[in-house]
């Protein structure tokens, strides 16, 4: 934000300003001031989005804190219409002022940290470390507070308690936007009926609307990607929605890692050289980066023609450049991937089948990969179909009225929906700028038996789930709405979606085969009736109708393969080839096994129920836990190849 200035005042007309005067006007701009003016950068473009952003930031923080402390998160989100000047509050759809309260059961915040955590921009624990978390920059909740301050003038209210023995602290804080420092209005100890946790209350100007990109949708999607979270949501219409926890185990703690040498820019290298505590260059390299062993450090020094014993602080200019180039030219192992904790296939399946009605679900977790030195994992999932209730409900209604010419049965030309996540946080805005969405468009869904017009999403009752987990998710803007377009990321998303598509294609083909066989016999029966009647009329009534009908039906049964086909169909519709998928059916004529156990023989998890019972969870987390190990092994291989340029 530093201002650049022309230093040489040329011969100027009288009205213009001298360099001295101009110089006098120049001063620091605080981040807070900058963001006050550019609030759209942080996701506060309009009242509707602002409400969502506030909820999102508070929920992100709550989940991050609880998970980091090893606590199974329980979060209560309450939206209420805030009464303005004493009148009775308007209905939620018309209200313009809301009170957002988010309570978690996290570790709480120590007293002196509360004001800066909530009322100082770019203050936080997550920016300087490389570890997977929802928040990254330390802007979010403070920005929400700033927005509250800007629109309603109300301070942020915080209650926090770190243990049952300690007291609960109540704070009211605001940002001093000029200094980017917290201003404390109220600070006292209070009684609080929670043993431990934090409660944040914001009063903001906002708009509550249901549907796409709403708070409701956000929380629903949070529940899909975080089955270990118990979430309670009280809507502004005083409805209580509970998203119960379906997995009683925390996802594995992601570990913090040091930056990988490939991922840093030249400027960052310079800063690190300056800041390091190492006295020797080789020590700096092996100590401050991940995957740089002393041997690799020696090699880098040799390539850069620098002494391993050089003082890092003394390396400037051309030497630093040589070092930077040497790093890029040296083969270095891919960064460790245990810093990422993917959701896992089982958990995604759980989340999807719990929240989305469908007939078929599948999930894919890709092995870790690397972009710009940052490890990441792509996960994708699919929910397809109408769900047995809807199908059953729709079926008897259909054959009521015969169709007139030109009339048609409603075809669902509805397009698929893409739900996107970055580090388990749903992304609701700027869909078309997002790498995940672009790849979903590019994927040739038609190969999997799904209609797709050029440049559009596939058509059908389908939800596409994409999750990117990484120590540093590259967003296109501060408001964290879309994932940037790195080739490596695109490729992984594509592979994941293709795998999902392939499985869906298999499911569809299988279902289609069964259906068409059924339909075939069905239409023959219908037509036989017609043909027999017509023949009887042609013959002037002199025909043994029943006999002809029986004969034709016999031929039809023989032609369609009869019961034998069913048996064959049933058999090759076995579980192989469809790992990590669920098929849900009504007790229908096809009678398929509702659940296909995982393909890997080692998968310890027992097959799930057709409609997954929420409590049966213990066994399921096992495969998730194992994942990083196998993943690590795989990650080693591709790296050296990549470097051979």
Question: In terms of residues, how long is the chain?
Answer: 645
Q: Determine, following the binding rule CB under 8 A, whether residue 569 of this chain makes contact with another protein.
A: no
Q: Determine, following the binding rule CB under 8 A, whether residue 391 of this chain makes contact with another protein.
A: no
Contact segment (CB under 8 A) with another protein among 51-59, 143-151, 210-218, 548-556 equals: 548-556
Q: What is the smallest separation between the CB atom of 562 and another protein, expressed in angstroms?
A: 13
Contact segment (CB under 8 A) with another protein among 7-15, 256-264, 382-390, 525-533 equals: 525-533
Residue written as tokens 């013959």?
539
Q: Determine, following the binding rule CB under 8 A, whether residue 399 of this chain makes contact with another protein.
A: yes
Instruction: State which residue, 88 or 403, has the beta carbon closest to another protein.
Output: 403
Instruction: State which residue, 267 or 399, has the beta carbon closest to another protein.
Output: 399
Instruction: State which residue, 484 or 531, has the beta carbon closest to another protein.
Output: 531
Nearest to 517 by CA among 554, 550, 566: 566
- Beta-carbon contacts of residue 476 (< 8 Å; ≥ 6 apart): 430, 433, 434, 482, 483, 484
d(CA 129, CA 99): 33
Instruction: State which residue, 402 or 601, has the beta carbon closest to another protein.
Output: 402
Q: Crossing angle for the helix pair 487-538 and 562-572, nearest 10 degrees?
A: 170
Q: Determine, following the binding rule CB under 8 A, whether residue 372 of this chain makes contact with another protein.
A: no
Q: Determine, following the binding rule CB under 8 A, whether residue 555 of this chain makes contact with another protein.
A: yes
Rg of the chain over Cα atoms, rounded to whole angstroms, equals 31
Q: What is the smallest separation between the CB atom of 413 and another protein, expressed in angstroms?
A: 19
Query: How many residues form the binding site for another protein (CB under 8 A)?
Result: 32
In this chain, which of 4, 10, 15, 405 binds another protein, going by CB under 8 A?
405
Q: 153 to 192, contacts with another protein by CB under 8 A?
A: none
Which secondary-structure segment (H or E) carries 119? helix 114-119
Q: Determine, following the binding rule CB under 8 A, whether residue 563 of this chain makes contact with another protein.
A: no
Q: What is the smallest separation between the CB atom of 564 and another protein, expressed in angstroms?
A: 16
Nearest to 396 by CA among 530, 586, 139: 586
Q: Determine, following the binding rule CB under 8 A, whether residue 556 of this chain makes contact with another protein.
A: yes
Q: 478 to 517, contacts with another protein by CB under 8 A?
A: 516
Per 3-state DSSP, what percentage of the chain is helix, strand, and coil (rounded to 5)?
40, 15, 45
In this chain, which of 17, 184, 268, 523 binds another protein, going by CB under 8 A?
523
Do the Cβ atoms of 471 and 260 come closer than 8 Å?
A: no
Strands 595-596 and 369-371: unpaired
DSSP codes joined into one string, 356-403: S--SEEEEEEPPPEEETTEEEEEEEEEEES--HHHHHHHGGGTTSSPP
Binding mask 320-359 for another protein (x = CB under 8 A): ----------------------------------------
Q: Determine, following the binding rule CB under 8 A, whether residue 537 of this chain makes contact with another protein.
A: yes
In this chain, which of 406, 455, 541, 601 binds another protein, going by CB under 8 A?
406
In this chain, which of 179, 551, 613, 625 binds another protein, going by CB under 8 A?
551
Instruction: State which residue, 561 or 607, has the beta carbon closest to another protein.
Output: 561
Q: Determine, following the binding rule CB under 8 A, whether residue 402 of this chain makes contact with another protein.
A: yes
Q: Determine, following the binding rule CB under 8 A, whether residue 394 of this chain makes contact with another protein.
A: no
Q: What is the smallest separation between the CB atom of 539 and another protein, expressed in angstroms?
A: 5
Instruction: State which residue, 539 or 625, has the beta carbon closest to another protein.
Output: 539
Q: Kindly state the tokens that stand for 558.
A: 């023989």
Q: Determine, following the binding rule CB under 8 A, whether residue 22 of this chain makes contact with another protein.
A: no
In this chain, which of 2, 11, 20, 398 binds another protein, going by CB under 8 A?
398
Do the Cβ atoms of 44 and 143 come closer than 8 Å?
A: yes
Residue written as tokens 């040497």?
326
In this chain, which of 401, 454, 455, 602 binds another protein, going by CB under 8 A?
401
Distances (CA, A) of 551 to 351, 366, 480: 52, 56, 68
In this chain, which of 231, 292, 383, 552 binds another protein, going by CB under 8 A?
552
Q: What is the smallest separation between the CB atom of 517 and another protein, expressed in angstroms?
A: 10
Which secondary-structure segment (H or E) carries 40? none
Contact segment (CB under 8 A) with another protein among 76-84, 281-289, 392-400, 629-637 equals: 392-400
Q: Kindly state the tokens that stand for 268.
A: 């960052």
Instruction: State which residue, 415 or 536, has the beta carbon closest to another protein.
Output: 536
Q: What is the smallest separation between the CB atom of 554 and another protein, expressed in angstroms?
A: 7
Q: What is the smallest separation between the CB atom of 560 and another protein, expressed in angstroms?
A: 8
Q: Determine, following the binding rule CB under 8 A, whether residue 535 of this chain makes contact with another protein.
A: yes
Query: Please, what sign has the CA dihedral across residues 63, 69, 73, 75?
Result: negative
In this chain, which of 133, 468, 524, 592 binds another protein, going by CB under 8 A?
524
Left, alpha or beta for 166 (phi > 0: left; psi -120 to 50: alpha)?
Answer: beta
Nearest to 156 by CA among 181, 180, 186: 186
Coil, strand, or helix at residue 519?
helix
Do the Cβ atoms of 101 and 78 come closer than 8 Å?
A: yes
Q: Determine, following the binding rule CB under 8 A, whether residue 538 of this chain makes contact with another protein.
A: yes
- In angstroms, the first-to-last Cα distance of the chain is 37
- Which segments of 261-313 does DSSP mark as H helices, in order? 266-275, 281-288, 294-304
Q: Beta-carbon neighbour count of residue 291 at 10 Å?
A: 18
Q: What is the smallest separation between the CB atom of 508 and another protein, expressed in angstroms?
A: 18
Contact segment (CB under 8 A) with another protein among 269-277, 332-340, 434-442, 556-564 equals: 556-564
Coil, strand, or helix at residue 415?
strand
Q: Determine, following the binding rule CB under 8 A, whether residue 411 of this chain makes contact with another protein.
A: no
Contact segment (CB under 8 A) with another protein among 307-315, 376-384, 414-422, 546-554 equals: 546-554
d(CA 19, CA 214): 51
Instruction: State which residue, 183 or 520, has the beta carbon closest to another protein.
Output: 520
Distances (CA, A) of 325 to 288, 313, 318, 486: 18, 18, 10, 22
Q: Kindly state the tokens that stand for 90.
A: 């308007």
Query: Please, what sign has the CA dihedral across residues 431, 436, 441, 447?
Result: negative
Instruction: State which residue, 415 or 543, has the beta carbon closest to another protein.
Output: 543
d(CA 501, CA 230): 31
Q: Kindly state the tokens that stand for 640.
A: 């050296």
Strands 181-190 and 168-176: antiparallel
Q: What is the smallest separation between the CB atom of 534 and another protein, expressed in angstroms?
A: 4
In this chain, which of 195, 529, 566, 611 binds another protein, going by CB under 8 A?
529
Q: Determine, following the binding rule CB under 8 A, whether residue 543 of this chain makes contact with another protein.
A: yes
Q: Determine, following the binding rule CB under 8 A, whether residue 441 of this chain makes contact with another protein.
A: no
Q: Determine, following the binding rule CB under 8 A, whether residue 88 of this chain makes contact with another protein.
A: no
Q: Determine, following the binding rule CB under 8 A, whether residue 559 of this chain makes contact with another protein.
A: yes
Binding site for another protein (CB under 8 A): 398-403, 405-406, 516, 520, 523-524, 526-527, 529-531, 534-535, 537-539, 543, 548, 551-552, 554-556, 558-560
């Amino acid at each position: 934000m530093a201002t650049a200035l022309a230093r040489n005042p040329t011969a100027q007309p009288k009205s213009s300003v001298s360099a001295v005067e101009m110089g006098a006007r120049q001063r620091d701009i605080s981040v807070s001031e900058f963001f006050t003016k550019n609030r759209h950068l942080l996701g506060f473009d309009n009242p509707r989005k602002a409400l969502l952003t506030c909820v999102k930031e508070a929920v992100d923080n709550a989940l991050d804190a609880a998970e980091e402390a090893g606590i199974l998160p329980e979060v209560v989100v309450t939206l209420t219409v805030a009464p303005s000047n004493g009148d009775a509050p308007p209905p939620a759809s018309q209200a313009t002022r809301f009170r957002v309260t988010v309570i978690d059961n996290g570790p709480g915040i120590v007293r002196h940290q509360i004001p800066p955590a909530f009322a100082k921009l770019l203050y936080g624990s997550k920016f300087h470390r490389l570890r997977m978390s929802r928040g990254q920059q330390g802007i979010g909740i403070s920005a929400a507070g700033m927005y509250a301050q800007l629109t309603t003038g109300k301070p942020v209210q915080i209650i926090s308690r770190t243990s049952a023995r300690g007291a609960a602290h109540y704070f009211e804080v605001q940002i001093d936007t000029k200094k980017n420092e917290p201003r404390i209005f109220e600070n006292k100890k209070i009684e609080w009926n929670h043993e431990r946790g934090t409660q944040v209350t914001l009063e903001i100007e906002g708009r509550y609307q249901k549907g796409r990109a709403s708070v409701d949708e956000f929380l629903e999607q949070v529940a899909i990607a975080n089955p270990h979270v118990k979430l309670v949501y009280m809507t502004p219409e005083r409805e209580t929605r509970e998203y119960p926890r379906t997995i009683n185990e925390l996802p594995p703690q992601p570990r913090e890692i040091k930056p990988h040498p490939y991922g840093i820019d030249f400027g960052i290298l310079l800063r690190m050289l300056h800041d390091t505590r190492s006295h020797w260059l080789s020590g700096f390299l092996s100590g401050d980066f991940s995957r740089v062993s002393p041997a690799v450090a020696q090699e880098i020094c040799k390539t850069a023609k620098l002494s391993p014993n050089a003082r890092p602080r003394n390396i400037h200019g051309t030497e630093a450049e040589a070092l930077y180039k040497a790093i890029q030219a040296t083969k270095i192992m891919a960064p460790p991937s245990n810093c990422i904790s993917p959701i896992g296939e089982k958990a995604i399946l759980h989340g999807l089948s719990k929240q989305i009605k469908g007939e078929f679900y599948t999930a894919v977790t890709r092995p870790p990969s690397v972009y710009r030195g940052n490890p990441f994992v792509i996960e994708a999932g699919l929910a397809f179909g109408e769900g047995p209730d809807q199908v059953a409900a729709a079926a008897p209604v259909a054959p009521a009225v015969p169709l007139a010419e030109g009339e048609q049965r409603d075809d669902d030309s509805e397009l698929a929906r893409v739900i996107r996540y970055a580090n388990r946080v749903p992304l609701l805005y700027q869909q078309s700028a997002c790498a995940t969405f672009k790849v979903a468009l590019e994927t040739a869904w038609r190969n999997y038996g799904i209609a797709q017009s050029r440049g559009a999403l596939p058509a059908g009752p389908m939800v596409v789930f994409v999750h990117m987990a990484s120590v540093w998710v590259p967003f296109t803007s501060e408001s964290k709405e879309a994932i940037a377009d790195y080739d490596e990321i695109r490729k992984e998303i594509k592979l994941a979606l293709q795998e999902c598509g392939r499985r869906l294609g298999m499911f569809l083909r299988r279902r289609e085969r069964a259906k068409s066989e059924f339909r075939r016999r069905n239409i023959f029966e219908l037509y036989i009736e017609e043909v027999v009647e017509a023949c009887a009329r042609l013959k002037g009534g002199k025909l043994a109708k029943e006999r002809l009908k029986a004969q034709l039906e016999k031929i039809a049964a023989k032609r369609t393969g009869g019961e034998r086909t069913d048996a064959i169909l049933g058999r090759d519709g076995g579980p192989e080839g469809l790992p990590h998928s669920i098929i849900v059916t009504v007790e229908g004529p096809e009678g398929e096994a509702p659940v296909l156990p995982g393909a890997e023989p080692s998968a310890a998890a027992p097959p799930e129920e057709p409609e997954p019972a929420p409590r049966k969870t213990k066994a399921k987390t096992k495969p998730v836990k194992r994942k990083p190990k196998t993943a690590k092994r795989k990650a080693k291989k591709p790296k050296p190849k990549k470097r051979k340029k």
